Amino acid sequence: MNVCVSRDFGSIIWVHNTGIEALLKLLRTEDMEAGRYAAFALSNLSANANHRDKIVEVGGVASLIALACCEDINAQKQALVALRGLCITPEYRAVVVREGKLLLILLISSFIFEKCIVVNLSYLKKSSSF
């Protein structure tokens, strides 16, 4: 069963109360692979409006932005997809913009220029206070 989009009340409660916070802890570790998989799971969870609320409430935007600015292109992709999912909700688009990361929203639209994303995000990380 895919708990990301499940209508099973027990699964939704577990994901909402435990799973999302556990995934965010993985995003904040030094383990890039764990962060990549956590971002992948969060991108699936962000398909559900109730999960988007919880992800934003517990600080997921900042954590996903930090991962999107790392050197690993695969981790960047997963973080950007999760941020894109959060931006389905207009008020969460504003949250991402308020975090000062409007450029990330623009980068989300396409992964065609992967090399440019790596270079630009690495440059931004060095030149600003992420």
pLDDT digits (tens, 9 = 90+) for 30-40: 898 999 999 99
Determine the longest span between alpha carbons in the chain, in angstroms.
46
What letter represents residue 76's amino acid? Q
More confident residue, 14 or 21: 21
pLDDT digits (tens, 9 = 90+) for 52-63: 999 999 999 999
Q: Quick one: three-class SS letters along 4-53?
A: CCCCCHHHHHHHHHHHHHHHHHHHCCCCHHHHHHHHHHHHHHCCCHHHHH
Domain ranges of the chain: 9-127
Please indicate, yes or no, whether the overall pTM of this predicted structure exceeds 0.75.
no
Three-state DSSP state, 111:
coil
DSSP for 89-106, written as a single string: SHHHHHHHHHTT-HHHHH
- Whole-number average pLDDT of the chain: 76
